[in-house]
Amino acid sequence: MEYTYLGRTGMKVSRLCLGTMNFGPVTEEKDAFRIMDAALDAGINFFDTANVYGWEHKGWTEEIIGRWFAQGGGRRERVVLATKVYGDMDKNDGPNNAGGLSAYKIRRHLDASLRRLQTDHVELYQMHHVDRNATWDELWGVFENVVADGKVGYIGASNFAGWHLAVAQAAAKERHFLGLVSEQHQYHLLCRLPELEVLPAAQGLGLGVIPWSPLAGGLLGRNALNKAGKRSASDRAEESIQKHRPALEAFAKLCQELGEPQDVVAVAWLLANPAVTAPIIGPRTVEQFEDALRTLEVKLDDAVLARLDEIFPGPGKPAPEAYSW
C-alpha cells in the first residue's frame, strides 16, 4: 500500500480511501465487515462515512462501522476515520437539526455520530456542504472546541468552491487555528471542472483532495456500455450513457489496448494527479474491493494521459488562464 500525508498535516493516509456509503442499504452488514477487514489487510487505513448514510435509516452505516470496531483486534486503532455533518437526521427534531451547519447542531450531531461509531473521536470531521448562512466565526469557534476536547483531530470540507476554501482558511488564520486540512470533491474524467478553481486553491492552501464518485456513478466502470438499453438501467443512467457514448466508447477502446478495465484506468488517472490525496472507492462486494486494489499498480504514462485528455477534454488550464490570455 502507498501512503501520503493528508494535506499539510503529519497524518499519513492510504492512497485509496474506503467509502462506506453502500454499507447497510446495499451491502449487508456481514459483507461490510468482510470488506473492512480486507481493507485493513491490504493496508488501507483511510475510511470515509457520513452521518446521513443509510438514507431511509440515517445513521445505519455509522452503526455498522461501530459494531465492526467493537469486535476489537486493533480495528479502531488502525483506522483514520472520517465522517461528515450537514444533512438532517430526523426532521422531527426541529429546525435547528435540519440541513445546514451551526454550533448548536455540530455539537449534537458529532456526539450522535461518536455513539453510533462506538468511539470517542474521529480523525477527520467534514462539513458535507457549505452553509452560506453560518459565519466562519461561529463555525471555527465550535470546531476549535471539539478539537480541543479531543473529539476531532482535523476539520475537512466537502463540495466547497475554491473561494469558499480561501475564505475559510483566511478566517481560520485570523484565529490562529489550523482550519481545513482537506476538501472532498466530485472529480473524475467526466467532471473536470475542479481543475479550474478547486484543485489550484487546495494545492495553494495545502489541502488534501479526496475525490468522490471517481467512476462517475458507474459510467466509467467496465460494464457501463453493456447496460445501455437494459431494463436494469435507470432513465437517468441511460440518458447519461447516451450523452457520453462517443467518449465512453473511445475510453473503452483505449482501456482494451492497455489491457486494463475502465474502472482501474479511471482511478489510476486520478492517482496520477499530484493534487489528489486519495480517491474514494465504494465497493459493494469484496470482489469489487479486490479489483479496486489493482489501480495502485497501474501507472499511466504521458502518452496515455494525453489520449485521455483528448477523449475527456478538461478546461486545459487552471483559472484564469483557461478562459483568458
Residue 206's pLDDT is what?
98
Residue 31's pLDDT is what?
97
Q: Looking at the domain assignment, is residue 11 inside a domain?
A: yes
53 among known catalytic residues: yes
Burial of 225 (0-12, 13-18, 19+ CB in 10 A): middle
Give me the domain span that covers residue 67.
Answer: 3-219+262-300
Of 151, 149, 131, 141, the closest CA to residue 177 belongs to 141
Q: Looking at the domain assignment, is residue 306 inside a domain?
A: no
Query: Could you tell me which residue, 243 or 137, shows the higher pLDDT?
Result: 137
Q: Looking at the domain assignment, is residue 315 inside a domain?
A: no
Q: Looking at the domain assignment, is residue 325 inside a domain?
A: no
| Percent residues over pLDDT 70 in the chain | 98
Q: Looking at the domain assignment, is residue 132 inside a domain?
A: yes
Over the chain, what is the mean pLDDT? 94
Instruction: Please tell me the pTM assigned to this model.
Output: 0.93
Q: Looking at the domain assignment, is residue 231 inside a domain?
A: no
How many domains would you assign to the chain?
Answer: 1
Residue 193's pLDDT is what?
97
Q: Looking at the domain assignment, is residue 42 inside a domain?
A: yes
- pLDDT, tens digit, 9 for 90 and up, residues 71-126: 999 999 999 999 999 999 887 778 888 889 999 999 999 999 999 999 999 999 99
Residue 231's pLDDT is what?
47
Q: Could you tell me the pLDDT band of residue 227, with boundaries at 50, 70 and 90?
A: low
* C-alpha–C-alpha distance, residues 182 and 282, integer Å: 19
Per-residue HEC secondary structure of 290-315 comes to HHHHHHHHCCCCHHHHHHHHHHCCCC
CB 280 within 8 A of CB 210: yes
Q: Could you tell me the pLDDT band of residue 230, with boundaries at 50, 70 and 90?
A: low
Give the cell for residue 72: 476489537
- Which residue out of 53, 86, 125, 154 is catalytically annotated? 53
Q: Looking at the domain assignment, is residue 318 inside a domain?
A: no
Whether 152 shows a pLDDT value over 70: the answer reads yes
- Per DSSP bridges, beta strands 3-5 and 12-14 are antiparallel
Residue 100's pLDDT is what?
92
Q: What is the CATH number of the domain that holds 36?
A: 3.20.20.100
Q: Could you tell me the pLDDT band of residue 228, with boundaries at 50, 70 and 90?
A: low
Calculate mean pLDDT across residues 46-67: 96
